[in-house]
Each structure stands twice: as structure tokens, then as C-alpha cells.
Chains A and B, each alone.
Chain A
Amino acid sequence: MIPAEMLLNAFVLGILVGGLYAIISLGISMGIGLLNISNLAHVGFMLLASYGAYTLNAEMNLDPIVAGAMLSPFFFILGYALYVMYYKVFERRIELPGTGLVFLFGLLVILEMVMYALFGITERGIYTYYSMQTITIGFLRLPLRILYPFILCFGLVIAIYFFLTRTRLGIALRGVGLDEHVIACVGCDPLRAKSIIFGLSLATASLAGGFLIAAQPISPYSGRQFIGIAFAVGVIGGMGNIFGTFLAALLLGVLGNLVTALYGSIWGAAISFMIALLVLLIRPKGLLRR
């Protein structure tokens, strides 16, 4: 493989990997953009779903992506309930700003430790029939374990976008993020709306968890590296901006891959955060306006 082919392959793979980043970042981006809640525990929930998928796979031989999808209604309910509690305790507490953030941080640590207690430190992976299969197009080799999640993520992004911009419920939900009181005036319960959004956010975490363990092995601390990526994606794409998040995720996937191919993976890992900080400096609202 001559370098040009290698770079092209790296480029395409970057796009595929970007799909995974997108679905992870989407939940966090929705939280920050629509609810103004920086859900640090998001990656913890994602890992929880991954372990759930692992268990379902071990017990019933269920495909992890399917498992992640099956678990998402539960995560929706969990997210809904969690937000109601969060709202009642923290949103009301204007005299102590930021405590909500600390709460979520603590929640992340608890989730990690619970998963650790249940599953131990050994990395868990799932071996599906497509685990090491690839589709070969010319000199391009596309691993199925990344391709499938990408296709599904793409579909998901489009679905969420249409939901939030074309359906009445979706538009109302977006509105509540902008101004709670106005929405209340038109007869929509802001707490319910917000809880639905958060529930959706956690549901995407469940899906992401399924995709994650289909793509690579996990350990209780696997989620942490994605906090940085999700943040970078959100900053670049604009929090709450669905398509922006998706494009930013692809961009970072490609960038990371290209840098890795050319300069080694150590720089590839750091590049996204550096860009994020740069963007924060220049255009805090993100590169892609709504």
C-alpha cells in the first residue's frame, strides 16, 4: 500500500470512527445545549449499557448493538427519573451554582466503581460474527465492527434531527431549553419536557454503549477518554447543534486518524483536545453555527 492509499484508508476509517464519536457526543451535546447541564456521568451510563450488552450477550447470545437498542427504553426512564430528581434538588438551588456538576462528577465515579465491583478490572470484549470481518472496496478495507455502528449512527442523527426540528413535540422540547417560562405559558410542562430530553440523552448513551462494545473491549474506566472527545466535538460543533455535533465528530475522527498515520498515535490522541481549546479561544460558540 503506497502512502496515498494509506491516507485515503485512514481518512475513510476516520469517518467511520467519527460515527461512534458522534453518538457518544450527541447525548452530552444535547444535555449542554438544550438543558444547560454538563452531564459528566454520561460516559458512565454508556459503559453501564456496554456491560449490560455484554451480559445479555453472554446469557442470551444477543448481538451487542441490538442489546444496546433494547436497553435504551430503560435508560430513557432512568434519565427521566434522574432529571426530575436533579431538577428538584439542584436547579432550584440558585445560591449554590455548580453543585449539579459536582453531583454528576460524583455519579460518574460511583458508576465506575459499581461496574468495577460487578465486573472486575479485566477487559471485556464481545466476539460477534462480524468482529473481524471487513468489506473490501478496491484497496479500502472497512471493518464491519465500525461500519455498522457508523451507518446506524448516521441514521440516528438524521432521526433525532428530524424529531427536534420537524415534529411538534421536538420543537417544543427545543424551545424549553431556550426559555422555560414561555413554554410554560403555552401549556407545556417545562419539567416534563426537560426530563424527556434528558431521557433521550441517556437513551443515546445506551445505544452508544452497544456500539462501543461491538467495536472494542471495555473496562470500567474506558469511558474517561471519551469525555475529552465529546467535549472537543461539542465545542467545535456547537452544543445542542445536532448536525454540527455529527460533522465535528467526523472531523475529529478523520483528523485523529490522519495524524496517527503520519505522526504516531500519541499525537493523534491529543490533537482533538488541542483543537478544542483553540476553538474555545477563538469562537466559543462553535465553528458551525446553527
Chain B
Amino acid sequence: MEKAIAKIYAVVAAVVIIIALVAGGMYYYLSIPGQVVEKTPIRIGFSQPLTGSLGAGGQATLLSLKIWAEDVNAKGGLLGRPIELVYYDDHSNPADTAAIYEKLIGVDKVDLILGPYATIPTVAALPIAMKYNRTLISVFATYANEAYHYPYYFSVMFAGPKLTDWSIGFCEIVNSVLQRPTVAVVAIANEVGDKISRGFKENCKNYGFNIIYETSYPPTTADFTSVLLPVKAANPDVVFFVSYPTDSVGLIKAAKEIDLRPKIIGGSMTGLQYAFNQLTLGKTLNGVIIHHSWIPAPALMFNGTAEFISKYQALAPTYGVDPLGYYLAPWSYSAGQVLQQAVEATGSLDQKIIGEYIRTHKFQTIVGELEFDPASGELKESKLLYIQFQGLTRGDLLDFTGPTHLKVLYPPKYKSGDLIFPFPGWD
């Protein structure tokens, strides 16, 4: 009996030693610095949710950044050195995001970092960036810096620093045709849904809108008819949705099915900017008002925008991302541009110098001029658009390509069409 026990212990000891050796070996191997060659590349590291619930956006961001890196290298690189992207997939899991940034900074020792796509991964990445005093530029994250007020965090995100920025355009549109209307709010029950609906309710108070019904739904909801029945029963003038891609489609479908027909319908509906979903709904989208970040309207074409879009659209099928790339892709690219311009202008890779530069300067990007609010790191001025689908006849890709059927109603300086009011009913 004793001998057997001793043997077991020996086996355990051996296994533990083997694990330690393997782990130690891998660890050592991973931390060997890259070979020093003539033109050492500048390594830019980031984590992206390439799989999991945020995968579609993460993949699009990755593609955009890859195009950006190619563009930079084609013009001679950054500070005369080629840039190299070092990235990992965090599966939309914030615990992995944090570990990845630890590795990127502590082990891979990348020169610069960029943020992941979306709020949840960014919130996980930010404390790591703070710990190592790195400048972090994130893509499409909302208010991640609220709790930390880190000075070198910058959010490339089309809404501005205030929660109300998300919906003020919608409220303006409503206000232009209705006095003190009744409103129903339907929002997804998560971080973004919470915040945007809060901002909307504040706007309603300021405009004197009367909220008569509000509800939220879990993100796994697939059938929205039962969610919308009470909305129809309340018979509001205006319905405002806050939703994520699948839900946005589901909500429109359900609204059509139960014939929910307020005078104005739409909202902050993420997902309806993507071709996949637009094609599913087709002509049904006529009259629906949604937020957007960028469409190829003449007023929104800036330096380099057209080139980027054509490169992106050429590569999109191979990467399995949205074929048109109107919503997220140009903004991801511009995040890279901000970093690039800051480094070039300061001639430095020092995090603090870059960070200070970004805080105090404006940037010309393919989505226009970007300037950051030093207090929060969000964009100083909201670039959020509200568009209305108009005149869709076939509901195919051609209908949704180009600005013809996506009329910008807000802000006034980019306005490209007039509001169709009241909502004409479902096609």
C-alpha cells in the first residue's frame, strides 16, 4: 500500500514538473524579443472580438485596420518604419480581452495599441492600458471611460460625450412635425440599450414628449410580436427602438405583422445599417428612421473615403463581412488614422506625448474631422446621422447601395431629403 502511494506521489510530482517545464518553456519562448533588423517594424497590438456575439463587428474592424496598415506601408510606413499588426481574438469575452492586452503589452511588448471593437471588450481593456500608461484609441465603444476618467483614452465613436447625443436627432425630427406627442420606448436590455434609452428619456423631457409606454427585452429574444402587442395597444404617436442587429430586424418584422403604425417609427437601431439585414427586410424599410454613422452621400465624402470604400468592398466577400461597409468600417479605419497622424506629428512613440497630442488636436480622417473631448475622451461633437429609408422599390443590393434611398434628415448640414410624414404604413 505504501509503495503504491509513493508511486502516485512520484507520478504527481513528475506531472507537475512537466507542466511547469512546458509552461515555463512556452513562456520563455514567447518573450524572446524579435530579431533586430535594419528597419524594425512598429508593432501595433490589439484584441478584437472575431468570434462570439460581437464577431461581425470585430471582423469588419480587423479588415479595416488591415487596409489601413497596408495603406500606411504603401506610403513608406510610419516614421519610416513598416507597421505590423499583432492581434488576437477575444471571443467577445472580456476576461480574455484583459489577458490579451496584458500579453500584448507585457510579453509581446508592442509599441502601440489600439482598442477592440465595442464597449464590453473596451471596458475590459481600459484598466490594462491604464496600468501600463498606454494611450488607447477604441472603436465604437460607448462611455467606457465613465468610471475611470483616464486622460489618454479616446473613443472613435460617432456619438458625442452626452447620452442625449444618440437620440437628439430623432427628437428634432419628431419635434419638427408634432407637438407634445405620445411616445413608446422599446429597448434591448444591455449596457448600450440602458444608456441610449436613458438619454432618449431625458431628451423627451426637454422636448415635452409624453412617454406612455416603455419596455426592455433580453438580447436572446427572437420573436417580437408579443413584445410589441402592448405597444400597439398603447397607441402612441411615436415609437423609438434601441436595438442590436438581430433584434432590429425582428422588431421591424413584428411591427409589420401586427401592423404597428405610429406616425413616426424607428430609432437607434443598430444592424439596419448593414446590407445583410437591409436585404432581409427590403422594401419594408420604407419610412423607417434609423441612426447611421456614415453613408456615401456627396457631403460625407472626404479625403481618401472613396478609395477606402472600394478597397473594402473588394475584400469584403473573402472576409465574410458586410458587403457595403457603410456603418462601421470607415470609422475603424479612421481610428488607425488618428493614431498614425498623432505619431507622425509628434515624431514619437512615447505614449504620453501621443496622448497629449490627441487631446489637443484635430484630425482629418475619411469620416471627416475628428476632435476629442479632453474630459471624457469621446468625440467633442456628435457625428451621428439620422436617415430615413425612402423610395425603395426592389429591396435588393442596388437599392441600398449609394445614398439615393437613404435620405439624411439630421443634422441639418448634411440633410439630403425631406421627412416623409406620417409613416406611410408597411410595404
Let me know if chains A and B touch directly in the complex, using CB atoms closer than 8 Å.
Answer: yes
Interface residues in chain A, defined as those with a beta carbon under 8 Å from any beta carbon in chain B? 1-3, 5-6, 9-10, 13-14, 17, 116, 120-123, 125, 127, 131-132, 134, 141, 143, 146, 215-217, 219, 221-222, 225, 256-257, 260-262, 264-266, 268-269
Decide if B246 is an interface residue (CB 8 Å cutoff): yes
Instruction: Find out whether the CB atom of A260 lies under 8 angstroms from the CB atom of B227.
Output: yes
Instruction: Find out whether the CB atom of B222 lies under 8 angstroms from the CB atom of A261.
Output: no
Instruction: Find out whether the CB atom of A132 lies under 8 angstroms from the CB atom of B257.
Output: yes
Given B225, B233, B250, which contacts A5 in the complex, CB threshold below 8 Å? B233
Given B222, B227, B284, which contacts A216 in the complex, CB threshold below 8 Å? B222
Q: How many residues of B contact A (CB 8 A)?
A: 41
- 29 cross-chain CB contacts under 8 A: A1-B235, A6-B232, A6-B233, A9-B229, A10-B226, A13-B226, A17-B226, A120-B55, A122-B56, A123-B246, A127-B281, A132-B253, A134-B258, A141-B257, A141-B258, A141-B259, A146-B225, A217-B246, A221-B53, A260-B226, A261-B229, A264-B217, A265-B215, A265-B221, A265-B227, A266-B189, A266-B217, A268-B226, A269-B218
**Additional 6 contacts, C-beta under 8 A, given A1-B235, A123-B249, A269-B221:** A3-B233, A116-B51, A120-B320, A121-B51, A143-B225, A257-B226
Provide the residues of chain B in CB contact with A269, threshold 8 Å. Answer: 218, 220-221
Shortest distance from the beta carbon of A270 to any chain B beta carbon, whole Å: 9
B55 nearest in chain A by CB position: A121
| B182-217 to A contact mask, C-beta < 8 Å, 1/0 | 000000010000000000000000000000000111
Q: 5 shortest A-B CB distances, which residue pairs?
A: A121-B55, A6-B233, A265-B217, A143-B257, A257-B226
Instruction: Find out whether the CB atom of A9 lies under 8 angstroms from the CB atom of B258.
Output: yes
- A1–B236 CA distance with the chains assembled, in angstroms: 11
Instruction: Find out whether the CB atom of B223 lies under 8 angstroms from the CB atom of A217.
Output: no
B217 nearest in chain A by CB position: A265
Decide if B280 is an interface residue (CB 8 Å cutoff): yes
Shortest distance from the beta carbon of A76 to any chain B beta carbon, whole Å: 27
Provide the residues of chain A in CB contact with B257, threshold 8 Å. Answer: 132, 134, 141, 143
User: Which of A13, A120, A122 has the largest number of chain B CB atoms within 10 A?
Assistant: A122
Shortest distance from the beta carbon of B292 to any chain A beta carbon, whole Å: 19
User: Which of A123, A143, A146 has the largest number of chain B CB atoms within 10 A?
Assistant: A123
- A225–B256 CA distance with the chains assembled, in angstroms: 25
Contact (A215, B223) CB under 8 Å given A2-B233, A6-B229, A264-B216: yes
**Chain B, 166-183, CB within 8 A of any chain A CB:** none
Instruction: Find out whether the CB atom of A1 lies under 8 angstroms from the CB atom of B320.
Output: no
Shortest distance from the beta carbon of B300 to any chain A beta carbon, whole Å: 25
Interface residues in chain B, defined as those with a beta carbon under 8 Å from any beta carbon in chain A? 51-53, 55-56, 59, 189, 215-218, 220-223, 225-227, 229-230, 232-233, 235, 245-246, 249-250, 253-254, 256-259, 276, 279-282, 284, 320, 426
Instruction: Find out whether the CB atom of B55 lies under 8 angstroms from the CB atom of A17.
Output: no
B252 nearest in chain A by CB position: A132
A260 nearest in chain B by CB position: B226
Shortest distance from the beta carbon of A132 to any chain B beta carbon, whole Å: 5
Given B53, B225, B253, B259, which contacts A131 in the complex, CB threshold below 8 Å? B253
A142 nearest in chain B by CB position: B257
Provide the residues of chain B in CB contact with A9, threshold 8 Å. Answer: 229, 258
Q: Is the interface of B mostly helix, strand, loop or mixed?
A: helix
- A14–B51 CA distance with the chains assembled, in angstroms: 33
- A43–B257 CA distance with the chains assembled, in angstroms: 27
- A187–B346 CA distance with the chains assembled, in angstroms: 87
Contact (A121, B52) CB under 8 Å given A17-B223, A132-B284, A216-B250: yes
Provide the residues of chain B in CB contact with A123, threshold 8 Å. Answer: 245-246, 249, 276
Provide the residues of chain B in CB contact with A127, threshold 8 Å. Answer: 279-282
- A216–B246 CA distance with the chains assembled, in angstroms: 9
Provide the residues of chain A in CB contact with B227, threshold 8 Å. Answer: 260, 265
Instruction: Find out whether the CB atom of B230 lies under 8 angstroms from the CB atom of A261.
Output: yes
A119 nearest in chain B by CB position: B320
Provide the residues of chain A in CB contact with B281, threshold 8 Å. Answer: 127
Provide the residues of chain A in CB contact with B279, threshold 8 Å. Answer: 127
Provide the residues of chain B in CB contact with A217, threshold 8 Å. Answer: 222, 246, 249-250, 280
Provide the residues of chain B in CB contact with A261, threshold 8 Å. Answer: 226, 229-230
Shortest distance from the beta carbon of B10 to any chain A beta carbon, whole Å: 27
Shortest distance from the beta carbon of A258 to any chain B beta carbon, whole Å: 8
- A251–B209 CA distance with the chains assembled, in angstroms: 39
Instruction: Find out whether the CB atom of B223 lies under 8 angstroms from the CB atom of A216.
Output: yes
Shortest distance from the beta carbon of A36 to any chain B beta carbon, whole Å: 30
- A221–B216 CA distance with the chains assembled, in angstroms: 22
Instruction: Find out whether the CB atom of A225 lies under 8 angstroms from the CB atom of B225.
Output: no
Provide the residues of chain B in CB contact with A1, threshold 8 Å. Answer: 229, 232-233, 235
B254 nearest in chain A by CB position: A143
- A1–B259 CA distance with the chains assembled, in angstroms: 11
- A269–B217 CA distance with the chains assembled, in angstroms: 9
Provide the residues of chain A in CB contact with B426, threshold 8 Å. Answer: 132
User: Which of A9, A121, A219 has the largest number of chain B CB atoms within 10 A?
Assistant: A121
Provide the residues of chain B in CB contact with A132, threshold 8 Å. Answer: 253, 256-257, 284, 426
- A268–B226 CA distance with the chains assembled, in angstroms: 10
Provide the residues of chain B in CB contact with A260, threshold 8 Å. Answer: 226-227
Shortest distance from the beta carbon of A136 to any chain B beta carbon, whole Å: 8
Provide the residues of chain A in CB contact with B217, threshold 8 Å. Answer: 264-266
User: Which of B53, B217, B222 has the largest number of chain A CB atoms within 10 A?
Assistant: B222
Shortest distance from the beta carbon of A206 to any chain B beta carbon, whole Å: 19
- A3–B231 CA distance with the chains assembled, in angstroms: 10
Given A13, A122, A134, A266, which contacts B276 in the complex, CB threshold below 8 Å? A122
Provide the residues of chain B in CB contact with A131, threshold 8 Å. Answer: 253
Provide the residues of chain B in CB contact with A257, threshold 8 Å. Answer: 226
Provide the residues of chain B in CB contact with A5, threshold 8 Å. Answer: 233
User: Which of B52, B215, B279 has the largest number of chain A CB atoms within 10 A?
Assistant: B215
Instruction: Find out whether the CB atom of B229 lies under 8 angstroms from the CB atom of A222.
Output: no
- A122–B106 CA distance with the chains assembled, in angstroms: 33
- A213–B245 CA distance with the chains assembled, in angstroms: 16
A133 nearest in chain B by CB position: B257
Provide the residues of chain A in CB contact with B218, threshold 8 Å. Answer: 265-266, 269
Instruction: Find out whether the CB atom of B226 lies under 8 angstroms from the CB atom of A265.
Output: yes
